[in-house]
Amino acid sequence: MDLHKRVAERLAALQDSSPGTTAYAQAQRQLGDAYVDLAQIDDRGGNLIHALGAYQAALGTLDPESASAQIATIQNSLGTVYRELAEVQDRAAYLHDALKAFQTAIAHAAEESIDGIMAGNNLGNVYHKLAETADKQAYLEQAIAAYQTAVRRCNPEKAPTVYATIQNNLGNVYTELSSVTDAETNLNQALDAFQETLLYTSEHDAPITFASMQNNLGNVCRRLAEFEDRDQNLKRAMTAYHAATRVFTATNAPLAYATLQANMGIVYQEIGDLPEAIAAWRDAASIAQQHGAFEEAAYFFELADQTEAEYRKRGD
């Protein structure tokens, strides 16, 4: 259906419902959803503001005592709109509005409901975004706390995709926090999260997610090798990168493949296999160049050339 037509139909439906009724709240929520969809293709900021108005009107109609579940759903949607608006204007202010909406959603949702779990995940996402603006360590730690609460409430057997998503987000934040403080501990936490993600991510059913997770796992193992179990972690990194190349090939995902080859080049260099490192970087550079990533290609060629010069100097 044409999205403009859908908004018009939702506006018409709103005229048929009486303010203060459950039907009116439902019509406003559906109107908000329609504006959110329209914002993806037209007047993003304007239509997101319209969506806010509709969701707020719906919330103003609902009784917190008797409509707690509906309030949680709409607050989740409201928080998502605030988060999207933060990408358009008034970043910090809208992110803080999103925090309040997701916190309210959590307060109204049943503890193990999908709405409550996703609100916790969304809350973590907003803290992660806020870490880009100020107080990086504090916001990253708050993101971790939100994700941990959400993942504790999520049964992986009932909602494996949601569980894997939260674990992945947790791994990403731990990885980022490792660059700020306590690198070894936070990398180990990231490793645990990514391994847990992969337990519930099928290469067959979700190949892109699977490959991305393997790349993340490889990166964490490679960095952990700087602190502990060097040989084992480098081996684990290489195994993870190779697993990712089963999905990200030079044909179907050339730039992702080039990144993997570059990462493998680093591992080969670390284990002292310079010919393999050179070959991996030249492969990465060639693929990147063919697909317009000229800056990356130049960097990979430079790595290969420097390593080749070192190899020749050794006389190996």
| Any domain includes 84 | no
Write out pLDDT tens, residues 226-282.
Answer: 999 999 999 999 999 999 999 999 999 999 999 999 999 999 999 999 999 999 999
Domain end point (choices 246, 267, 301)? 246
Examine the pLDDT at 13 and tell me if it is beyond 80.
Answer: no
Shared domain check, 165 and 193: yes
pLDDT at 245: 96
Domain shared by 302 and 263, yes or no: yes
Helical packing angle, 160-177 and 207-224, nearest 10°: 30
- The answer to the question of residue 103 being in a domain is no
**CATH code for position 204:** 1.25.40
The domain tally of the chain equals 2
Backbone angles phi, psi at 156, to 5 degrees: -65, -25
Helix or strand run (H / E) with residue 279: helix 274-290
| Integer Cα distance of 95 and 182 in angstroms | 27
SS3 25: helix
Whether the predicted pLDDT of 1 surpasses 60: no
Both 220 and 260 in a single domain?
no
Q: CA–CA separation, 88 vs 123, rounded Å?
A: 19
Same domain, 293 and 238: no
| pLDDT tens-place string over residues 121-138 | 999 999 999 999 889 999
Domain that holds residue 170: 154-246
66 occurs within a structural domain:
no
Q: What is the pLDDT of residue 66?
A: 81
Residues 225 and 270 in one domain: no
User: What confidence score (pLDDT) does residue 316 get?
Assistant: 53
Task: Give the per-residue pLDDT at 32.
Answer: 82
Residue 64 placed within a domain: no
Among 219, 246, 273, the domain boundary falls at 246
Q: In this predicted model, what pLDDT tens digit does every residue of 82-106 receive, in sequence order?
A: 999 999 888 999 999 999 999 999 9
Q: Is the pLDDT of residue 163 over 70?
A: yes
Phi, psi of 226 (to 5 degrees): -70, -20
158, 237: one domain: yes
Average pLDDT of the residues in 167-184? 97
Can you tell me whether residue 158 is helix, strand or coil? coil
Taking the alpha carbons at both ends of the chain, their separation in whole angstroms is 66
Do 238 and 254 fall into the same domain? no
Q: Is the per-residue pLDDT at 7 higher than 90?
A: no
Q: What is the pLDDT of residues 32-77, one digit of tens each?
A: 888 788 888 888 888 899 888 888 988 988 888 788 888 999 999 9
Asked if 257 and 173 sit in the same domain, the reply is no
Per the domain annotation, does 82 fall within a domain?
A: no
Q: Are 145 and 103 in contact (CB under 8 A)?
A: no
Residue 33 lies in a domain: no
Which of 246, 274, 290 is the endpoint of a domain? 246
Residues 169 and 220 in one domain: yes
Q: Is residue 123 part of a domain?
A: no
Q: Do residue 159 and residue 236 come from a single domain? A: yes
pLDDT at res. 14: 66
276-308 pLDDT tens trace: 999 999 999 999 999 999 999 999 999 999 999
Same domain, 227 and 289: no
Pick 11 or 288 by higher pLDDT. Answer: 288
- Overall average pLDDT of the 167-179 stretch: 97
List, in order, residues 6 or more apart from 308 with CB less than 8 Å away: 274, 278
Q: Are residues 173 and 232 in the same domain?
A: yes
Asked if residues 109 and 154 have their Cβ atoms less than 8 Å apart, the reply is: no
The number of CA neighbours under 13 Å toward the Cβ of 51 is 28
How buried is 280 (Cβ within 10 angstroms: 0-12 exposed, 13-18 middle, 19+ buried)? buried
**Residue 51 within a domain:** no
